[in-house]
Structure 1
Amino acid sequence: MGADGRRRAGRGRGGRVLVLAACGGLLATGCATMPDSGDVQAVRGANPGDSQVRVYAVAPRENATPDEIVDGFLEAMTSDDPGFATARKYLTSQAAKSWKPEESITVLATAPDREQPDRNADPENQGRAYPISGRKIATVDARHAYQPNSPVEYAQAIHVVQEAVAEGKDKEWRIDSLPSGLVLGEPDFLRNYRSVNKYYFASGEDWLVADPVYIRQRQDPVTRMDPVTQTVRALLAGPTHWLRPAVDSTFPSGTELKKGVTTLTTDDQSTLKVPLSVKSDRFGGEVCRRLAAQLLVTLGDLPSVRVDQVELQDVEGGVVCRLGKEQAAEFEAVQDTGQVETPYFLDDNGRMMALAPGGKDVVQPTEVPGPLGSGVVPLGSLAVARGGTRAAGVSEDGSSLYVSSITTEQEQLPPVLRSKAAVTAATKDRLSQPSWDGRGDLWIADRARGHQRLVVVPDGTGKWIEVRTPWLGEDTRVESLRVSADGVRIALLITRDGKTTLQIGRIERQDGADEQVVSVVDLQPAAPRMESVSSVSWAGPSRLVVVGREAGGVQQIRYLQTDGSTSASSVLPGLNGVNAVAAPHEETEPLVVESGNDGIVRLMPGANWQPVVKSGSAPVYPG
């Protein structure tokens, strides 16, 4: 107990011992008994994401003190106890019935602090209220969606009373009032849960969109389902609330796993058989094929299972359809062409240059064909279409947007778009760096004062459309943008009140009378714990690479999920003075950055930073 009289529950508690797949301790409640063999290693906290560390809850001892009841319950919430049955033993009979740990998770930066109670707060019932506090960083809802927030103070209370627990025995202290759901420190949350991408079809399209959620690393205490079955169940439940307006799900309404299914395993042919609760006439043909594709791509994110084929069965056990990985791949937003992704950058003369694909040896960059590579108009930023045959460049002064082939020679075409900025405006008040989505549409922000707007150019050559942005006011400025390959999400660096933050917006499209109506709505913070963000790049279906700073911290480069979740292991090796970052879609290719100190630098998987070009700017991969 510290000098302030408080005692910390959970990971930060001194004297607590964790072992792989077990937990031991000197306390009488809230942790497992010590194993009688093997090495024991004392640690101060479970490493984030270390799923091998297990916590086993134990029931309260007879005549346990109120302190022990509260501490034991906080420990028991971090365990894998089936049904949280042991945790419920710390509750009154009524509270045990009404507590629903599956409804939500409150994630704190560290395990909750339990303070000493005010013994005079409840004189009538002779109960005690224990303040529970911490720094709240996120919540997880009943659909497993992670929702981050800027760290805020969390203050709740756990109330204990005396209740008769057995006939003929004295009353025991039990909890009768508590916060809803689970309350976990981030290390315990990451130890028990892992991020998984579910996949749904972009509205009216034939490609899939990632929808990240969190599932249990091991068997779910409430449903008793293993991770594979949990993932399938979460997919069938439908998209998260934020993504729902922009995607379609092919599942017939009411589709669930067949009653009683808690385990799904592959056979010796790596085929996963999935029994559903509906009749075959409701999901046959193309519906079944698309449903199977969603399952295959979703399960490809799980390291614990290899699924080469999915077999969907109806409620009577009949086979409705089968689909293999190769067939499902045609629905992915980024198709595997077998070609290595090529990074590009601008040289000191504003010419577009191509870097050789990843390899141990650094090869001199080459000038791309066409006007963007010849320097007819010196460029300040660029973007490459997903197919790698066209590129968009913004003039060095930020006034004009050009689109050109980068595989054949051609004349410089007129600008596709001009900024509305005044002639005397600064470059930063003109066009942003452009970005292509997987549909072949080109996106850009015009930052002209008094005329700020977001613009999309269909196919990069058609008539441009001003995007509806109800959040873009005079006090808001879009510094840069990156559109996902699926064309459903957009990462925005937005400055408001002198602070630049990373936001994820949802792209919605509707057919209008004369042209398509495009909107970016429902912005969500993706890096709320960063005080400022200076560069961002997509790094796969639902992952970003971000350059920024936490409050009072140094610049760092790290991976983030689009839902804002992260872990300590996501921080990349440090590099000074990074101005821009570009990430490939595939993890096998190098990360490329612009460093004010070292020029263009790359980071190969499993290696250190390696200088490529002494001077250059604006590195990009297709997208």
Structure 2
Amino acid sequence: MNARTTAPVSAGAAAPAGLRGTAPRRKRAVLVVLLAVLAAAASACATVPGDSSVQVLRKVSDGEAPPAPPGPVDGTNPLDLVRGFVYASGSSADRHGAARRFLAPEAGTWDDGASVTVLDEQFGTVPVASGPDSTTVRIRGTRIGTLTNSGAFEPDEAPVEADVTVVRRDGQWRIASLPPGVFVRLSDLRSNYRSIKVFFVDPVRSTVVPDLRYLPAVPAKAQAARAVDMLLDGPSAALAGAVASRLPETASLTSNVTETADGGLVVDLTGVGTLDDAGRRLLAAQVVLTLSEVNASRVRLLIDGAPVLPATLDVTRADVASAAADAADAGAPQQPALVAAGGRVRKLGGDDPGGVVAGQMGNGAFDIASAAVTIDGGRQAVVSREGGRSRLIVGEGDKPLQATEVTGAVLTRPTWAPGGTEVWTVADGTTVSRVVLDPGAPPRRAPVDASALTAAGGSITSFRMSRDGMRVAAVVGGRVVTASVARAFDGSVTLRGARLLRPGELGDAVAVDWRSTDTVVVVSARSDRAVSLVSADGLALDSVSGSNLTPPLRAVAAAPNRPLLVVDQGGVWSFSGGQLDTWRLVAGGMPDAVPFYPG
């Protein structure tokens, strides 16, 4: 074997187990999927629609497996043989059986489960040393990232190289020696793998939140067992320290996941330990919501043979849906989109588009640069310009707004944490600040350790908290970075696990917002990629149509099931993303507009 990498090919270490510890319990070769981001084009209107059909990630269907990639063709030269091997590696069926057809007998011990290196579409196979019956071929490309053994994607863009030895036997070239692990192009994975959400516990709010993973789409019958394995493995490194699990390290299955006669699943756990009623409900939510991702409609969830929920033998998604972090937001009345412009907050939709809102946000009491309101509209935060400085000001209901200690030459658009008790902003591109609103007390500034984010280098010009409160997305030095929000029981907060998302494609970023808990919208100064959608782990990326927009863009606002809003030189534009749709001007003549959705 002869292997060399410009950036080492990781062995794909299993995901840390977050608050339960960092050691995985077992090694699993769960691979990945690119899930295409959908966007469309063409049409026109003058108000913001009430909902949106923008699709972020496409799940591969649960049908039969696509045809296996073809094996080597007789007479194939060494360079094309190795290229075909990489193409075939997109199918993980039968331990990468399609790819193994390219191997000579002496390579039969190839460890395909050691790592998964996800390649950009363009890669090369070049000769390094050649002879009449043996040659060395170098795979050369750009690594987007790697997959852990528990199916989590770790972004890590870098050049990568690996050498394989090819020999001629009986007149045909075959691979005799190769490094462990697989190289997989994104496009070759799209047809064979799917994304799922594995659910863990927000220890502060006692709700469950999703963690994005990838697994083979077929065979469909194996997906439930794989999903439970991912759950037992614990949180991915991206959320380790931010979430917990009601499944301790000692937990395991007493037997394989099985199917009942009427189509439900039986999951019998052991080693769970003692749980109170609240803990049992969170455990049920973790398992049932995770399995609903692989189309399991009912789960007979047991601990040592006894039902986890004594009154409910077979648990459905509806039984545990209220435990999801986004359940409260989903039930709240939809508030109209708003925009800060001309020093006041105005409406973008409804029966008075362009009209100012009631109270001090709209009456000119403050010179407002940007603003945010909670999902129910009950609390407000504004960045008020005061001469050459800016100050964060907060308020509740129709009470007068109150000044906070947070000031700076520039403050980013405020962003509320779930529950409406905290609002965050960044001062002067360097200081991440949070203000806590305690009942009956003045707003107080609370510490946050943001060193992981600021270490990315450069000024923080945009900063948004995800709607489940578990992650932040930011523009740091023109690049898109995400990090998890880890809260300790003493009230301290740390941003950790900062990840740089697709720097090659998402450079020159201007602003970000969360489209959903696992998707970020990015606007940039580039004319060729003005608006992009990227998954929170950086794996899936696509451009949104820029029809009608005039770059450079300046701001973006997004929310689940709402149109995307961006600001260009002409004003505020809306995009719902359905077929035959395009960007529509909803507010013109607002050069300083900063749109936002409640939440």
Q: Same fold (TM over 0.5)?
A: yes
Assess, with a 3 A threshold, how the Cα gap between structure 1 residues 281 and 108 changes in structure 2: closer, same or farther.
closer
CA contact (8 A) 1:481 1:493 kept: yes
Shift, 1:227, TM fit: 3.3
Does the Cα contact within 8 Å between 2:167 and 2:173 map onto a contact in 1? yes
Paired residue for 1:273?
265
Q: Which residue number in structure 1 is paired with residue 597 of structure 2?
A: 621
SS in 1 for 2:476: strand
- Pick closer, same or farther for the CA change 1:572–1:330 going to 2, 3 Å: farther
Residue type matched to 2:155 in 1? P
Report the counterpart of residue 322 of structure 2 in structure 1.
330
Matched, 1:140 2:128: no
CA distance, structure 1, for counterparts of residue 463 and residue 364 of structure 2: 24
CA drift of 1:160 comes to: 2.5
For residue 432 of structure 1, the aligned residue among 397, 409, 412 is 412
Q: What does residue 232 of structure 1 align with?
A: 228
Is contact 2:406-2:445 (8 Å) kept?
no
1:149 equivalent in alignment to 2:131: no
Question: Does the 8 A contact of 2:437 with 2:444 survive in 1?
Answer: no
Structure 1's 400 and 80: CA in aligned 2 closer, same or farther, altered over 3 A? closer
Larger RCO (CA under 8 A, 6+ residues apart): 2
Residue in 1 that maps onto 2:288: 296
**Which of 530, 533, 537 lines up with 2:506 in the alignment?**
530
Instruction: Spell out, residue by residue over 1:508-547, the C-alpha distance to the aligned partner (whole angstroms, 9 max, x if none).
Output: 22355xxx32222331112422121111111111111111
For 1:479 and 1:67, the matched residues in 2 are separated by 46
Decide whether the 8 Å contact of 2:347 with 2:353 is kept in 1: no
Residue of structure 1 in register with 2:395 after alignment: 404
TM-aligned CA distance change 1:89 to 1:411, over 3 Å:
closer
In the alignment, structure 2 segments of 5+ residues that lack a partner are 1-57
Q: Which amino acid aligns with 1:470?
A: S
Contact between 1:458 and 1:464, CA under 8 Å: does it hold in 2?
yes
Q: 1:565 aligns with which of 516, 539, 552?
A: 539
Cα shift at 1:265: 8.2
How far is 1:314 from its partner? Answer: 4.2
Q: Determine if contact 1:103/1:141 at 8 Å carries over to the other structure.
A: no
- Judged with a 3 Å threshold, the aligned counterparts in structure 2 of structure 1 residues 214 and 381 are, in CA distance, closer, same or farther, namely same
Give the aligned residue type for 1:312. L
Change (3 A) 1:474 1:226: closer
Question: After the TM superposition, which residues 283-362 of structure 1 pair with which residues of structure 2 at under 5 Å, given as runs?
Answer: 285-302=277-294, 305=295, 307=297, 309-314=298-303, 316=305, 318-321=306-309, 322=312, 323-334=315-326, 335=328, 336-348=330-342, 350-356=343-349
C-alpha distance in 2 between matches for 1:341 and 1:329 = 22
Hey, what does 2:448 align to over in structure 1? 467
2:436 paired residue number: 458
Kept in 1, the 8 Å contact 2:144–2:155? The answer is yes
Q: Single out whichever of 243-252 and 110-119 deviates more from structure 2.
A: 110-119
Shift in Å, 1:158: 1.1
For 1:455, give the aligned amino acid: S
TM-score by length of 2: 0.78
Q: Distance in 2 between matches of 1:401 and 1:266?
A: 59
Taking the aligned partners of 2:500 and 2:455, their CA distance within structure 1 comes to 18
Q: Which amino acid aligns with 1:118?
A: A
Please list, as runs of the form range in 1=range in 2, the aligned pairs for 1:359-378 lying within 5 A after superposition: 363-378=352-367
CA distance in 1, matches of 2:348, 2:260: 44
Secondary structure, aligned partner of 2:146? strand
Instruction: Give CA deviations for 1:323-359 in whole Å, capped at 9, x if unaligned.
Output: 33334222222312251242111232x11123335xx
Which residue identity lines up with residue 217 of structure 2 in the other structure? Q
- The percentage of counterpart residues that share the same residue type is 25
1:70 corresponds to 2:82: yes
CA contact (8 A) 1:133 1:154 kept: yes
- Once residues 89 and 277 of structure 1 are traced to their aligned partners in structure 2, the CA distance between those partners, rounded to angstroms, is 39
3-state DSSP class of the match of 1:137? strand
Q: Aligned-pair distance for 1:188? A: 0.7
1:265–1:382 Cα change, 3 Å: farther
Tell me the distance in 2 between the aligned counterparts of 1:608 and 1:62.
49
CA distance in 1, matches of 2:146, 2:455: 29
**Alpha carbons 1:160, 1:174 under 8 Å: kept:** yes
Residue 144 of structure 2 contacts residue 502 of structure 2 at CA under 8 Å; is this kept in 1? Answer: no
Shift of 1:178: 1.4
* Equivalent residue, structure 1, for 2:17: none
Secondary structure of the structure 2 residue equivalent to 1:209: strand
Partner-residue secondary structure (3-state), 2:339: strand
* SS of 1:287 mapped into structure 2: helix
Q: What CA distance in whole angstroms lies between the structure 2 residues aligned with 1:139 and 1:387? A: 40
For the 8 Å contact 1:439–1:459, the answer to whether it is kept is: no
Task: Give the C-alpha shift of residue 549 in structure 1.
Answer: 5.5
- Measure how far apart 1:299 and its partner are: 4.2
* In 2, Cα distance between equivalents of 1:435 and 1:266: 49
CA contact under 8 A between 1:537 and 1:581: conserved in structure 2? yes
Compared CA separation, residues 118 and 264, structure 1 to 2 (3 A) = farther
Give the partner amino acid of 1:375: G
Cα deviations across residues 34-68 of structure 1 (Å, max 9, x unaligned)? xxxxxxxxxxxxxx987689341455678976567
Counterparts of 2:378 and 2:160, CA distance in 1: 52
Task: Report what 1:166 is aligned to.
Answer: none
Change (3 A) 1:113 1:67: closer
Q: Does residue 379 in structure 1 map to residue 368 in structure 2?
A: yes
Higher gyration radius (CA): 1
The CA deviation string for residues 219-272 of structure 1, in whole angstroms up to 9 with x for no partner, is 28xxxx5334433332222111231211111113243445444x768946xxx4
CA distance in 2, matches of 1:81, 1:389: 52
Matched, 1:508 2:486: yes
Secondary structure of the residue aligned to 1:253 is coil
- Would the aligned equivalents of 1:209 and 1:333 in 2 still touch at CA under 8 Å? yes
How many pairs were matched up?
520
| Contact map agreement 2:115 2:180 (CA 8 A) in 1 | yes
1:244 aligns with one of 240, 243, 259? 240
Partner of 1:417: 405
Give the corresponding residue for 1:446: 427
1:189 aligned counterpart, secondary structure: helix
1:536-582 deviations in whole A, cap 9, x for unaligned?
111111111111266xx6242121111012244x5344322332111
The Cα of 1:212 is off from its aligned counterpart by: 1.1
Written as runs of structure 1 = structure 2, the 5 A alignment for 1:97-108 is 97=109, 99-108=110-119
Question: Alpha carbons of 1:369 and 1:411: their partners in 2 closer, same or farther (altered >3 Å)?
Answer: same
Mapping 1:182-197, distance limit 5 Å: 182-197=182-197
In structure 2, distance between residues paired with 1:111 and 1:119: 24
Alignment-mate amino acid for residue 290 of structure 1? L
Q: Which moved more, 1:377-386 or 1:605-614?
A: 605-614
Distance of aligned partners of 1:459 and 1:487 in 2 relative to their CA distance in 1, 3 Å threshold: farther
Q: 1:112 and 1:216 mapped to 2: Cα distance?
A: 23
Matched to 1:454, the amino acid is V
The answer on 1:579 being equivalent to 2:554 is yes
RMSD over equivalenced CA pairs, Å: 3.2
Indicate whether 1:595 and 2:571 are aligned: no
SS at match of 1:289: helix
* Higher mean C-alpha displacement, 322-331 vs 382-391: 322-331
